[in-house]
Amino acid sequence: MRRLVLFAALFATATALGGESKSKSKSPEAATPATPAATPAANPAAGTTPTPDAIAAYREAEMMAIAKTFKAMSMISKGEVLRPQGEFIGHAESLHNLSLDLVSQYPAGTAHGEAKSEASPAIWTDAAGFAAAAAAFETATAQVLAAAKISDNEAVKTGMGAIGQSCGGCHEKFRLED
Amino acid sequence: MLLWLTVALAGPPAVEPLASADAVRGEQIAGLGACVACHTTAGSPELAGGYAVRTAYGVFYGRNLTPDPTGLGGWSYADFVTAMRLGRGADGHALWPAFPYASFSGLSDRDLSDLWAWLGTIAPVVQDDRPHEIKGAYRGGLGLWRMMAFRPATTFDDGLTDDGAAIRDEATRGRYLVDALGHCGECHTPRSSVGVPKRHRYLQGWDDLHAPDISALGWNTSELASFLDDGMTPDGDVTGGEMFRVIREGTSRLNDADRRAIAAWITALAD
């Protein structure tokens, strides 16, 4: 039970971080923190569908939460700050959860030019490549989480490198740089 | 102007590779020089050429650099140095600056020797060079471009100690890695419509290539050095685009001191 509460709190924090970032990145208003049990697609206003801009803004909010969580983990892993092991594990859990179910957030009609998004058309023309990149990210975050739980610091270091490679590798092909 | 004329009229420099030439080090040099990026086509053998460099001036095809006669098999080391420092092919014809000799012109004897040694280890591949497809307006403009934009380097100091084992002077090392080998300005310094770099806007970004202004990043030296290692910005974002490839195949393979030298040189620009 305690783990569930901790997880929910950390997930909420990670999501909220995307809106409270002190950096100059343009983030939308903080997404309403959701508990893990919430139905993803539920919409209280019957008959309305999310606009392409909303879909793009939500996934950008998640991407910013990913960046901040990864940054926090990186600082701990590099010894730039000293934090309890449990805190690192909490971040790793958040990051892994953010890595799940990415592909479904890119429905047709939400590419750069169709929505306020940096999503490259290559996401749809090379759907297999995109799915593979998303899967690589999911795997990399799972590996760091597993390594952190058993305090395997060497595996965490290597795993952090693998996460970074999966971020950059996907961005290289599927995110447009403006 | 006189120096340019002297250099232009001179034959290839009578040079030999250094006795210390090291093919293993040459491969690392090639990583930052990004030779593979323009001289290898995906799915084809390494350095066999054919890769299309698409620019506003036309499509330029990287040539075959393998030791086969259709590549550099008939070239001497002196020919190689002439190409890299003076931008001329073995038969003397001027080369198009899609090949960034304006930057490579400053490469040290040590780095050129090592590169040549590494090139000699590549498997020979029979592949004729593909002619460039230059847009009509620019076809006759190479001589003019060279006169306006190309100054052959006159110093070749890589900032290392004589034995190449350590950095002798960090500022010299940083400038060398940025300007000569890393050729960062080829993407990050904006150009006029006829391709002449705007030197007064050094590293201030070239929108055509989505290469950002790096002259005033607002990052400190450690943050930039770290970025050149793993591509992560101080915000936790990981860069994509061409720069991720530059990091993956080039700057991440440098040692920490070299990355730091690059970072120190670039962050000092903001001062």
Q: List CB contacts of B136: < 8 A, sequence separation 6 or more.
A: none
- pLDDT tens sequence across A98-121: 999 999 999 999 999 999 999 999
Cα distance from N-terminal residue to C-terminal residue, chain A:
45
When CB atoms are compared, the residue of B236, B241, B245 closest to A177 is B241
Q: Containing H/E element for B133?
A: strand B133-134
Whether the per-residue pLDDT at A24 is higher than 60: the answer is no
State how beta strands B52-55 and B133-134 pair: unpaired
Whether the per-residue pLDDT at A178 is higher than 80: the answer is no
CA gap B241, B141 in Å, rounded: 30
pLDDT value of residue A27: 42
From chain B, the residues in CB contact with A169 under 8 A are: 244
Instruction: Name the pLDDT band for A32 (thresholds 50, 70, 90).
Output: very low
Which range among A15-29, A76-90, B231-245 shows the weakest confidence by mean pLDDT? A15-29
pTM above 0.80, yes or no: yes
Instruction: Name the pLDDT band for B1 (thresholds 50, 70, 90).
Output: low
pLDDT value of residue B6: 58
pLDDT value of residue A31: 42
pLDDT value of residue A106: 97
Report CB contact under 8 Å: B236, A67: yes
B244 Cβ under 8 Å from any chain A Cβ: yes
- Please state the rounded mean pLDDT for residues B148-156: 96
- Please state the rounded mean pLDDT for residues B43-63: 93
Residues A19, A1, A31: CA angle, nearest 5 degrees: 15
B230 Cβ under 8 Å from any chain A Cβ: yes
- Please state the rounded mean pLDDT for residues A165-169: 97
| Residue B232: strand, helix, or coil | strand
pLDDT value of residue B172: 97
CA gap A130, B232 in Å, rounded: 21
CA gap B262, B224 in Å, rounded: 9
Pick among A20, A21, A167, A176 to test the B interface (most B CBs inside 10 A):
A167
Distances (CA, A) of B135 to A63, B59, B73: 41, 8, 30
